[in-house]
Chain A
């Protein structure tokens, strides 16, 4: 079955960096765009970024543009999110989520990981 597993979360001080990973299995990873979606504690969902299935095209929410970088290594079936210049308001559970559309993007998310918690605090 389709599985996405995030890792790399933790506690980090403001201004520092962190890299999240998302390992995919049970499907052809290189056929799907993958998104990052975050959820602050007790709050709603916020879309963060997307990368195309082949990795050439990337888009970001305005709140993270210039600070976060999405990338992927299809040979390792792994997605990454580099988080730089972290702020307390970046504290959230970060989910990777597969796009519903194969070989394109639709920005609906049919499979999600369990999430990894990032806490930005001094």
Chain B
């Protein structure tokens, strides 16, 4: 089973700053890596799929990069609504399924 490890666990930044979140896989997942945002009391929202593709309606300040075992989610300039928990997720093609990282909490400094 592939394990996803996210770092840091908590990131404290101010609006307008750049955020860099990391996700490392225990073995290669190619580019089968997605990122989700979860605000308090809400369901997760898909931000990025296949490592670097923005989902429909996602602002351009969100970008993803990486392949193999190391991936990064970058938020270029933080807006107040971006302070939330972020999860990475890898998908398996057969049998279908998914594994999530433990999450990174992005707090207002």
Which of B13-21, B75-83, B93-101 is near enough to bind chain A? Answer: B93-101
Chain A residues lying within 8 Å of B97, measured Cβ to Cβ, are 47, 50, 59, 61, 107
Residue ID in chain B nearest A50 by CB atoms = B96
Given contacts A44-B100, A44-B102, A47-B99, contact A108 B43 (CB under 8 A): no
Number of A-B pairs, beta carbon distance below 8 Å: 61
Within 8 A of B (CB), among A43-96: 44-47, 50, 59, 61, 95
What separation, in Å, do the CA atoms of A32 and B78 have in the docked complex?
34
Of A35, A105, A107, A110, chain B has the most CB atoms within 10 Å of the CB of A107
CB-based contact A100/B43 at 8 Å: no
Query: Smallest distance from the beta carbon of B60 to chain A beta carbons, Å?
Result: 18
Q: Is the CB of B100 within 8 A of A46?
A: yes
B87 touches A44 (CB 8 A): yes
Q: A110-B46, A115-B43 provided; 13 other pairs, C-beta below 8 A?
A: A33-B96, A37-B98, A44-B87, A47-B98, A50-B97, A59-B95, A100-B49, A107-B91, A107-B92, A109-B44, A109-B46, A114-B42, A114-B43
Q: What are the residues of chain B within 8 A of A45 when measuring CB–CB?
A: 36, 44, 87, 89, 100, 103
Kindly supply a per-residue 1/0 record for chain B positions 14-54, scoring 1 wherever the CB is within 8 Å of any chain A CB and 0 otherwise. 00000000000000000000101000001111100110000
What total of chain B residues lie within 8 Å of the partner, measured CB to CB? 25
Interface residues of A (CB under 8 A from B): 33, 35, 37, 44-47, 50, 59, 61, 95, 100, 105-110, 112-115
- Establish whether residues A108 and B95, one from each chain, have CB atoms under 8 Å apart when the complex forms: no
Is B55 on the interface with A (CB-CB < 8 A)? yes
B16 to chain A minimum Cβ distance, whole angstroms, is 28
A61 CB contacts on chain B under 8 angstroms: 97
Q: Which residues of B contact A112 (CB under 8 A)?
A: 43-45
